[in-house]
Amino acid sequence: MYREAMKLLESWKYRANRKPLVLRGARQVGKTWIMKEFGRLYYEKCAYISMDENERMEEVFREAFDIDRIIEMLEIEVGFKIEPEKTLIIFDEVQEIPRALKSLKYFQEIAPQYHIIAAGSLLGIALHEGTSFPVGKVDFCDLYPLTFREFLLACKEEKLLEILDRNDTDMMRVFKTKYTDYLKYYYLGNCETGSGYSSN
């Protein structure tokens, strides 16, 4: 599946002044999927860690922000060595452990060689009271629901998309019923084949 936000993530990876990235978006827009897919496509390894009901991670971030110690414990959690530049570290549902979010400041200041993406539903809104947001220490990327353009690609309708991109009104008129059908499938969340589709 193609998501246009992947280009933004790729640009972030190669940015000279890259900071930890905070991926913002509502529930069910595909944050977890795109982070894992980005890790699969652009890194040798992906250290995915969900903070949701993760008592071990609560302990990891409870103490002082010793980055070497945190990395060591993350390696134990995922079961392999985390190598700077080669491993993408993902903190999913990071709003569940606010100190994990706060740690991004220290990663940026002390260990910018690590590539970290943090995501969570309503991030920046549903934070626990008294937890400071690492303002100025992170980059941001906003993820929105799947666009109709992305949906056509997911349904393997590249030709219909090409017609839209070049604004060929004559061709669009000829295939009006197909566009109308795909709009219906788009709203229902299924491609024409009837197969279930989800952006998660």
pLDDT in tens, 5-22: 999 999 999 999 999 999
- CATH number 3.40.50.300 given to 5-142: yes
What pLDDT, on a 0 to 100 scale, did the predictor assign at position 76?
A: 96
What pLDDT, on a 0 to 100 scale, did the predictor assign at position 195?
A: 35
- The pLDDT > 90 percentage for the chain reads 62
The model's pTM:
0.79
- When pLDDT is averaged across residues 88-114 and rounded to a whole number, the result is 93
Q: Which residue has the higher pLDDT, 26 or 54?
A: 54
Sheet order of strands, 87-92 included? 45-50, 87-92, 115-121, 21-25, 139-142
Q: CA 189, CA 173: separation in Å to the nearest integer?
A: 24
Q: Is the pLDDT of residue 71 over 60?
A: yes
What pLDDT, on a 0 to 100 scale, did the predictor assign at position 189?
A: 67
What pLDDT, on a 0 to 100 scale, did the predictor assign at position 190?
A: 64
148-162 tens-digit pLDDT: 988 998 888 999 999
- When pLDDT is averaged across residues 178-192 and rounded to a whole number, the result is 82
Mean pLDDT of the chain: 87
**Confidence category of residue 196, pLDDT binned at 50, 70, 90:** very low
Q: Is the pLDDT of residue 199 over 50?
A: no
- When pLDDT is averaged across residues 142-171 and rounded to a whole number, the result is 90
Place of tokens 């200041």: 109
Q: Identify the CA nearest to 189 among candidates 143, 148, 142, 144.
A: 148
Q: Where are the domains of the chain?
A: 5-142, 148-188
